[in-house]
Structure 1
Amino acid sequence: MSGTGTENQTRSGDGAGRPAAPGSAGSFHAMWRELLPVGRHPGTGGYRRYAWTPADAECRAWFRQQASARGLAYEVDRNGNQWAWAGDPAAGDAVVTGSHLDSVPDGGAFDGPLGVVSAFAALDELRARNVQLTRPLGIVNFGDEEGARFGLACVGSRLTAGRLTREQAHRLTDGDGITLPKAMEAAGYDPDAIGPDPERLARIGAFVELHVEQGRALDVTGDRVGVASAIWPHGRWRFDFRGEANHAGTTRLADRRDPMLPYAETVLAARREARLAGAVATFGKIAVEPNGVNAIPALVRGWLDSRAPEQGTLDTVIEGIEAAAREHAVAHGVGLEVTRESFTPVVEFDHALRDELARILGKEAGLKVPVLGTGAGHDAGILAGAVPTAMLFVRNPTGVSHSPAERAEEDDCVAGVLALADVLEGLACR
C-alpha cells in the first residue's frame, strides 16, 4: 500500500468531511499489515489464497481473531461463510457488510480483503464515535468468491442464496481432481451440510459491500469513493478444440489437425468482437493435451470470460466469437464443443438503498457522490436477488486488478473506512 499520513485524512472528492478517529485508522493499518503476508507467493508477489487450502485457513483464523478481539459473536454457516455479529442477528433487519478473503491466482492484495478489513475498521470508527446500534450489525467473509480452485465464482454466496445446489457443488473439481466435498472435509467442514440458507438471508435488512474499484472511473473523476449502480451481465464459456496428436517433427503441415490454430484465431476473434461492441472478452486460461513441446496437441481447451453493459450486446459478442471459432475449426479439420459454464445476468442494485448511500455520503461530505457501473462480479451481486444490496468503491489509481500491481492509496483506503462507517451509522444507528 502506498501513500502517507493517513490518520487525519478525509473521505472523498475534494477532501471534505470529518477526519478519522485515530483508533479506526490505526486499526485499519494494523489489520492490513497482519493480513498482508498470508498466501503471498515469494516469487510473483501475488496471492494464492485458494478455497480450503492452508492459506485460506490462515485467513479464516485471522477473521475469527478479529471478531474475538472486538467481543463479537462468531459463527460459521452451513456453507463455510464466516460471520461476526454486534447485536443479536435473530432480531432481524440486520445491516451486514464485508466481502471475501480468497484470491485469483497471483492476485492483488485489495480485491476482497479491503472490504473485510474496512468492515472491522468501520466498526471501530462507530465505537469511537460512541454511537448506539439500533439494528444488528454483521461482518461477513464469503468463501470461495473468486472461483480460482474449482472454476465457479461466488460459491459461498451462491450456495447461501440458492443459486447453486448441493448436488452441483459436489460435482465441482479442482485441477488436481480433488472434489469440493473432499477439500471441505480436509479443511474440517461438512460438505453434506451445504445448501440454501433462506432463514439466514431473511434476517438481513441490507448488505453493503466495500470493494476496491476494478477500473479507473474514480481516478478520472478525482473522487475517492463511489457508489455502485449495477453489475454488467457476464459469463464464462469453455471452448474444446479436438484435433489429432502427432509428432511435431515428422508430420507435414498439410497433414495436421492442430487444434492450437483455431484456438489462436478464436482468441483474436474475441478481441475483435468485443472491441466492435464496446464489451470485453478474454481467454485467460488454457489447458493443452498432451502438452508436450514436441507434440501436436490432441486437445486445446480455452476458457472465455466476456462482459458487456447490456444483455443484447453480450449475446452478440458471444455469437460472433462462437461463429468464428466454428469456422476456423472446420478449416483445420478440428472438432469444437462450446459449453457455457456460468452466467450472471445484469444485476441492478437496490435503488432505494443505493440512493440512501449516496444521500448519506453526500450529506457528510457536502458533495455529489459518483454512481458507476462495473464489469466485475461480486458476492453483493449474488445476494441482490434475495436482500437489498449496495456497494461502495474505493479509488484505484491505475485501474489494475487481479494482479500483484493492484493497489489503492492509504488515504483513499481510510476514506473508504470512513464512508463505510457513515453508511453503517446511517443504516444501523438511526
Structure 2
Amino acid sequence: MTKLHEWIENTLLALNLTDSMEQKTGFTRLGFSREEKLAHEQFRNIASSLALKTQQDEVGNQWAIWEVDPDAPTIGLGSHLDTVIEGGGYDGVVGIVAALGAIRELKRKRIKPKKNIAILCFISEESARFGVSTIGSKTLIGKVDKNKWENMKDYEHVTIRQAMEQYGLNWETFHQAYCEDNRFESFIELHIEQGNHLYQNHIDIGIVYGISTPIRLKVTAYGQSNHTGTTQMYERKDALVAIAPLINVVQKEAAEINKQSEQAFVATVSTVNVLPNAMNVIPGKVELGIDIRSVDDKLKRQFVSLVETYCKRLEKENQIEIRIDEIVNEKAVLLDKDIQQKLTNICDELKISYCHMNSGAGHDVMNMAKRWPSGLIFIPSVNGISHHPDEYTPLRNIQIGVSVLAAYLEREVGGCTTS
C-alpha cells in the first residue's frame, strides 16, 4: 500500500482530472457540467478501490458506503467536487480526499466498525453557475424550491432544469433524494478554511462553532435618466450620485460593529448595476447588492435597520425613491457542541494545534446541521486564498486533517481490530 501522503497526492490529482495542481487558469467544474460528472466518476472509482459500495441518488449526489449492518446507525462525511469559474483544486475536493483517506486508514488498521460509514460527494455546491448554492445537500434535507429553481439560468441561458436533464437526471423525481431522519446518526465535513486565520497563526486545525449565513439586500435607487450634455447640474436626479454614499457607510459601519462585537461581522456592497449604463445618459436607476454576514442574527437585523434608516435620509436629501428588497435571510447555523468537544479531545490527544472559530463561508454541512448533529473541521489555506488558481493547501495539512477525521471515525464507529 502506498504511503498516505503519496495516496493523498494521487487522489487529489485524480479528482481534479489533472496530472498537475499548477494550472494558470485554475479549475472550472460547474454544477451539473460534464466536468463535474467526470470528477464524480473518479470518486466512484477511488471509492470502489477501497471496497465501498457506490451509488448515485436522484439529484446526482454520489454515495460511497461502508455498510456493516443495514440496521446500524450511519456516520456521514463529505463535501463537493464542483468549483467556481477558474477556481482552485482544494475547495471541496480536499474534504472528499480526507473522507476517503480516513476510511483508508481504518481499513489499513483492519478496524471492523459497528456502524456504517457513508461518504457523500454533494452535487452543485457552488453558486457560481446558477446563483443557487448547495443544491445537492438542500435536496437531501428536503429544502427544494422547484418553482424557483426551474427557470433560473446560467450565463449561457441554460436553466437548472435543463442542466439537470442534460446531466441525466429526472426533474420530476429528483426531490426523492430526500433522506429520512434515521438516515444519519451524525455528519462531519472537512474543508479548507478559505481565510487566513489558521495559516497566519500556524494552527493546524480549526474546529468550527458556527456558520455565518447571510442576509442579502437589493437596494434600488430610482432617479431620472436624462441627457448628460443638456441637463443642468441643478436639474438632475442622478440615481448613482444619490446612492453612492451608501457604499462607504456600509464599509465604515460594518468595520465599527466588527470592532465592538464578540462575533465576527462583515458587510459588503458586492454588486452594482447602473441603468441605462450609457456614457451620454444620466443614471436613472441603480441596484446595489449588499451581503451581510455574522453568526449573530441580531447584529445582522440591526445592520439592515441601519441601512433602511440611512436610505430614508438619502431619499429626502436627493428627492429620489429607494426600494429595499430582502432577497436572502438565513439564520446562522450553530454546529453540534458534542462533536466540537470530541474533535477538541482528539487534537489534544494527538498533540495537534487547533483553535475554535466560525466560518464566514457556507458549506454543505450547514444544511446537514438542520437535520442531524454535525461538525466542521478547517485546515489552512495558504495566504487565505480561495476561489482562485493560487488556492493551495500543503499535503502535510491534508494529512493532518485525515488523521483527525480517522481518529474521530474510529471513536464513533467502535468495532475491533481484525487479524
Structure 1 counterpart of 2:356, one-letter code: V
Q: How many residues align?
A: 408
Aligned residue for 2:77? 97
**1:410 alignment partner, one of 391, 395, 398:** 395
Aligned residue for 2:407? 422
Looking at structure 2, the residues matched to 170 and 88 of structure 1 have their Cα atoms a distance apart, in angstroms, of: 39
Superposition pairs of residues 264-413 of structure 1, within 5 angstroms: 264-278=244-258, 279-329=265-315, 331-363=317-349, 365-366=350-351, 369-413=354-398
Q: Can you list the C-alpha shifts for 1:227-279, whole angstroms capped at 9, x where unaligned?
A: 11122242322223344444445544444443333443222221112111112
Superposition pairs of residues 4-403 of structure 1, within 5 angstroms: 22-36=2-16, 45-87=25-67, 90-195=70-175, 197-278=177-258, 279-329=265-315, 331-363=317-349, 365-366=350-351, 369-403=354-388
Normalised to the residue count of structure 1, the TM-score between the two structures is 0.84
Cα 1:411–1:391 change in 2 (3 A) is: same
Normalised to the residue count of structure 2, the TM-score between the two structures is 0.87
Cα 1:228–1:257 change in 2 (3 A) is: same
Cα 1:389–1:253 change in 2 (3 A) is: same
Identity of aligned residues (%): 26
Looking at structure 2, the residues matched to 53 and 244 of structure 1 have their Cα atoms a distance apart, in angstroms, of: 42
How far did 1:191 drift? 1.6
Say if 1:207 and 1:380, in contact at 8 Å, map to a contact too: yes
How far did 1:341 drift? 2.2
Looking at structure 1, the residues matched to 241 and 147 of structure 2 have their Cα atoms a distance apart, in angstroms, of: 37
Looking at structure 2, the residues matched to 85 and 216 of structure 1 have their Cα atoms a distance apart, in angstroms, of: 34
Say if 1:165 and 1:195, in contact at 8 Å, map to a contact too: no
Looking at structure 1, the residues matched to 362 and 404 of structure 2 have their Cα atoms a distance apart, in angstroms, of: 22
Quick check: 179-188 or 165-174, which moved more?
A: 165-174
Looking at structure 1, the residues matched to 391 and 313 of structure 2 have their Cα atoms a distance apart, in angstroms, of: 38
Cα 1:54–1:166 change in 2 (3 A) is: same
Cα 1:45–1:262 change in 2 (3 A) is: farther
Quick check: 117-126 or 201-210, which moved more?
A: 117-126
The secondary structure found in structure 2 opposite 1:405 is coil
The secondary structure found in structure 2 opposite 1:96 is strand
Looking at structure 1, the residues matched to 279 and 168 of structure 2 have their Cα atoms a distance apart, in angstroms, of: 40
The secondary structure found in structure 1 opposite 2:383 is coil
Looking at structure 2, the residues matched to 120 and 177 of structure 1 have their Cα atoms a distance apart, in angstroms, of: 36
Looking at structure 2, the residues matched to 378 and 352 of structure 1 have their Cα atoms a distance apart, in angstroms, of: 20
Q: Can you list the C-alpha shifts for 1:329-388, whole angstroms capped at 9, x where unaligned?
A: 55445443322222321222111222122223322x145742222222211111112011
Cα 1:130–1:51 change in 2 (3 A) is: same
Say if 1:25 and 1:121, in contact at 8 Å, map to a contact too: no
The secondary structure found in structure 1 opposite 2:60 is coil
* Structure 2 unaligned blocks of 5 or more: 259-264
Structure 2 counterpart of 1:119, one-letter code: A
Looking at structure 2, the residues matched to 346 and 76 of structure 1 have their Cα atoms a distance apart, in angstroms, of: 30
* Structure 1 unaligned blocks of 5 or more: 1-20
Quick check: 110-119 or 220-229, which moved more?
A: 220-229
Structure 2 counterpart of 1:396, one-letter code: S
How far did 1:43 drift? 9.6
Q: Can you list the C-alpha shifts for 1:119-150, whole angstroms capped at 9, x where unaligned?
A: 12222222222222221111112122221222
Looking at structure 2, the residues matched to 32 and 174 of structure 1 have their Cα atoms a distance apart, in angstroms, of: 28
How far did 1:211 drift? 0.7
The secondary structure found in structure 2 opposite 1:152 is coil
Q: Can you list the C-alpha shifts for 1:76-123, whole angstroms capped at 9, x where unaligned?
A: 222222211121684341111111122234433322111112212222
Say if 2:210 and 2:295, in contact at 8 Å, map to a contact too: no
Looking at structure 2, the residues matched to 244 and 35 of structure 1 have their Cα atoms a distance apart, in angstroms, of: 52
Aligned residue for 2:262? none
Cα 1:303–1:208 change in 2 (3 A) is: same
Say if 1:83 and 1:139, in contact at 8 Å, map to a contact too: yes
Quick check: 205-214 or 218-227, which moved more?
A: 218-227
Structure 1 counterpart of 2:330, one-letter code: T
Aligned residue for 2:261? none
How far did 1:176 drift? 4.5
